[in-house]
Structure 1
């Protein structure tokens, strides 16, 4: 956690209640006082701070401030908007004030709907989104589509079409209409679906990819198409373009070369932990 210079907080009313939270901007980022948010809904601050400090998605920043009526400067915990939103979705509504409960329950229901739409339908749009917000989504979609236009001839057409459909559906708040067989399938994602951790994926991906390519050539009498993919470290490289139609090839390579080895490795780890 980082410390900031003395920062002024401003009160923000909580809709539907007579309470307020305190917020400020830090380097242009909206931040909310966790203590005041906890007090606004009637739950213990210390327990919530400990909980957030243990969450990988949480961003907690300490600042020094002087609140009206307080003669001393105090260090308080602030959370960004992303953390604040996620935190509200995890609150046990049985432990909040009666005044705040219906507001949080309504928020959590809407958050659940949005997450469901995002992961299962390809996107979600707030029905109360302003024209400016919708326009920003549209501009982003246009920019992404222009990039796809520039990528013609460099990326496999099926991948381009799938990406374009996802971009359009996200802008419209609808589910993308994609042929299941045309959905891109990546080696790293496939290995992750088999329960491999990141380190083991990194170690096995290259060998898996070489065996997969060889099998693809046997099946189709040609090499698979190639396209550019951005890696987690930000670099971009060319990779072979596979789709869900190729999953049987993935399964064949896995069953022949990896399933037994990975299972034996897991048993070794379990046995070592039990000894």
Structure 2
């Protein structure tokens, strides 16, 4: 049984990165920052300003400490993003090659995720591979159960992505059948966060009304997992509907955007 007074050390294959965790989801931030020779206070403030940061505190005894104390910890997602954003020129010279290798692999993974439909770690274990297969099977069963409830083009595109990810291949998608979320469409307009929040709800309703007017039926819905882990149903458009969303944008928002910028 783990001694709650001391941190749980996690070894990363191929790296000596000091990961001391609470045994659950948080890794102590200060030892990692010092490992790269960076200023802890500065990096902590940097993380606090990021929307993707998830941090907390836990009480433990780190190596070199004489007693138990409260430390700041970050979750795995935050640590991954933080490492990817570090300036290699500012870290210790003897750690730069390690950071470059990590960031290069992270860049490859992000590229594969956004442009190929998914990314698979080349060092994946048999247990991890089986877990991915199980997940893909469950997702395919959900797609099958959703037939008749979701736009068929949207559903087919999702199914193709799931199959390709499970087989370690690239999804072959008809461009017109690619899923298109109204939030992503608005994100392409380079709006401020405040502006995005103020119009997203009404924009979605107007797009839905325009879709009904064109097709005579409501657009289907698809469960979308948000960045905070929650899932909600959103209207399922595809790239074939982009001209419809563009028309709504031009009719209601483009003139207003120009006025604001002016």
The equivalent of 2:18 in structure 1 is: 21
Q: 1:210 to 1:103 in 2, by over 3 A?
A: same
1:56 and 1:187 mapped to 2: Cα distance?
21
Per-residue deviation at 1:83? 1.3
Q: 1:158 to 1:37 in 2, by over 3 A?
A: same
The equivalent of 1:230 in structure 2 is: 223
The TM-score, its normalising length taken from structure 1, stands at 0.79
1:81 and 1:242 mapped to 2: Cα distance?
32
CA contact (8 A) 1:123 1:170 kept: yes
Per-residue deviation at 1:110? 0.3
The equivalent of 2:33 in structure 1 is: 38
> Structure 1: which 5+ runs fail to align?
1-5, 218-222, 271-275
Per-residue deviation at 1:69? 5.0
2:171 and 2:212 mapped to 1: Cα distance?
29
Per-residue deviation at 1:53? 1.3
Counterparts of 1:189-208 in structure 2, within 5 Å, are: 189-196=184-191, 197-208=196-207
Which of these two proteins has the greater Rg computed from alpha carbons?
A: 1
The equivalent of 1:3 in structure 2 is: none
Partner SS for 1:100: helix
> Structure 2: which 5+ runs fail to align?
none
The TM-score, its normalising length taken from structure 2, stands at 0.83
The equivalent of 1:81 in structure 2 is: 76
1:124 and 1:11 mapped to 2: Cα distance?
27
Per-residue deviation at 1:11? 3.9
Q: CA RMSD in A?
A: 2.6
The equivalent of 1:273 in structure 2 is: none
1:258 and 1:44 mapped to 2: Cα distance?
44
Q: 1:177 to 1:68 in 2, by over 3 A?
A: closer
CA contact (8 A) 2:10 2:20 kept: yes
Partner SS for 1:63: strand
CA contact (8 A) 1:184 1:243 kept: yes
The equivalent of 1:158 in structure 2 is: 153
Is residue 93 of structure 1 aligned with residue 92 of structure 2?
no
Per-residue deviation at 1:10? 3.5
